[in-house]
Structure 1
Amino acid sequence: MSDRIKEKARLAPSAILTVEQVRSVRHWNEHLFSFSISRPASFRFRSGEFVMIGLQGESRPLLRAYSIASPSYAEELEFLSIKVPNGPLTSRLQRIEPGDDVFLGRKPTGTLVADALLPGNRLFLLSTGTGLAPFLSLIRDPDIYDRFGQVVVVHSVRQVSDLAFRVDLDSHLAGDPLVQDQALVQLSYLPTVTRESFRTQGRIATLMEDGRLFEGVTGPRRLDPATDRVMMCGSMAMIRDFSARLAALGFAEGSNAKPGHFVIERAFVD
């Protein structure tokens, strides 16, 4: 271990943080990037959970919660992030390069996990922006296809270049050694853009109202708590709107302690 890493490890509270190395960085556009880091041998998480990521500040680590985009069996940990020019953390994090060091929290957690949902047939994963990240983890977990007959990823963004991982999702995760056969049959991908021309345009609420949310999906063209389960991650406006819509339809919010019909990531909303 280099003297530089040793010093950073000394500054980080070792009980809650480890120092990991950046393995890769991809800039999708001027305000969106993803990166992967090394994974400690002792690090365990459930697909869909989040963890604290950060860099050293002047006197203490600067940390922010990031959903893990890689599946629970991956050798590296991947994350999706926006670029905030004046953000205390992201203004620096967007400049990381392979070989740089970052802090990783030791305790992943979260409610966007399959265990927080009751059994069902169709699973709708509703996301805006970087809210796609936890669902990238879930759809590469074989267990999700055993739990649900159909898995629908809905990703709403402002411009086409914001559709991170679009090629992988359009291909139904072709080439993935664990889930490609199941995803080919059970996974649907619905990207939608709100400020540019694209094959699907409009907010997720509009897609539900006019029925486009259910195109390519078998079953009723409406959400039903008897058969459907929903996960949401992204803008607070979308989450609040859909939480109210689902509650009006008879859906109950779930948690790790009490599974339900839909879940949101309370840590990000609250």
Structure 2
Amino acid sequence: MTDAAARPSPFFHERVLWVRHWTDSLFSFATTRNEAFRFRSGEFVMIGLPPAEGEKPILRAYSIASPMWAEELEFYSIKVPDGPLTSKLQMIQPGDEILVGKKPTGTLVLDALKGGERLFLIGSGTGLAPWLSVARDPDTWSRFGQVIVVHSVRNVADLAYRELFESGLADDPLVGDEAPGRLVYYPTVTREPFRTQGRITERIRSGELFRDLGMQGCFDPARDRVMLCGSMAMIKETAELIEACGLKEGSNAEPGDYVLERAFVG
């Protein structure tokens, strides 16, 4: 037996259960979940497609969109026509094989935050993915009295999962009794007419976000906790605005007032 054959695989080999194409550039899919796979809501994992004989798999980091208790693993992705992975990943069908790394990680987890009253989950584009996990985790609702999901996109059609959040997760098996009345969904659109228009950073800087939510004009370090995921530019700019309000960045080692995923930001 060769060393390669004896070495355990760093991946679980899962099967695609369903695929949903939201638009020409956005899709979601779910896979089976190995019983040995454990993760915290909000973490990311490396995924890929089985490589051709003699080749190495092309892998990318994907936030897990399903909560930690779910029996399946859900992912939310963009479609990049010439992307090394997504150009092929967007063609998957139920029954196809997906490689899922065995070591999920990340800082977009409740463990990296201090306790508080309001939890802001701010994401742009597919940066919504970890909030799908966190918002459906019972621990979130036991720690915070209100959860505010802020999703910024270019076009109205890009508001994937809008129906889920607008219905307040009422049908969710574990948080359906907790989320309605305590969940606030705040979508913004930058390139089309919509009830809330403009970049989320602009709405924070102008105070429109806070006025719309019936709050004072800044995040409150004593009450508010924030998680950030999305484009690098949005995360960096929003983090600066958050720190200007007095909030401090947290980590797994030292919980704080807000967190971002530095594995994606650099």
TM tier relative to shorter chain = over 0.9
Shift of 1:67: 0.2
Query: 1:227 corresponds to which residue?
Result: 223
Shift of 1:213: 1.7
Tell me, in whole angstroms, the C-alpha distance in 1 between the residues paired with 2:208 and 2:71.
37
Structure 1 unmatched ranges of 5 or more: 1-9
Once the two structures are superposed, the pairs formed by residues 80-119 of structure 1 within 5 Å of their partners are 80-119=76-115
Residues 99-142 of structure 1: CA distance to partner in whole angstroms, max 9, x if unpaired? 00010000111000001001111111110000000000000011
Q: Distance in 1 between matches of 2:178 and 2:208?
A: 23
User: Partner residue of 1:53?
Assistant: 47
Structure 2 unaligned segments of length 5 or more: list them.
none
- Which residue of 133, 147, 157 corresponds with 1:151? 147
Contact 2:227 2:258 in 1 (8 A): yes
The count of residues paired between Structure 1 and Structure 2 equals: 260
Distance 1:258 1:109 in 2: 16
Q: Does 1:27 align with 2:21?
A: yes
Q: How has the CA–CA distance of structure 1 residues 249 and 211 changed in structure 2, closer, same or farther, with 3 Å as cutoff?
A: closer
Which residue of 250, 254, 257 maps to 1:254?
Answer: 250
Q: Is the 8 A contact 2:50 2:97 kept in 1?
A: no
CA contact (8 A) 1:120 1:229 kept: yes
Q: How far 1:241 sits from its partner (Å)? A: 0.5
Q: Could you tell me the TM-score, scaled by structure 1's length?
A: 0.92
- Percent identity between the two aligned chains: 60
Corresponding residue of 2:164: 168
Report the aligned-residue RMSD: 1.5
Moved more, 205-214 or 35-44: 205-214
Q: Give yes or no for contact 1:188–1:216 (8 Å, CA) kept in 2.
A: no
Contact 2:41–2:68 (CA under 8 A) maintained in structure 1: yes
1:182 CA displacement? 1.2
- Distance between the aligned counterparts of 2:196 and 2:241, measured in 1? 22
1:200 deviation in Å? 1.3
TM-score (norm 2): 0.94
CA distance in 2, matches of 1:137, 1:249: 27
Query: Is the Cα contact below 8 Å between 2:45 and 2:100 reproduced in 1?
Result: yes
* In 1, Cα distance between equivalents of 2:215 and 2:208: 13
Q: 1:46 to 1:252 in 2, by over 3 A?
A: same
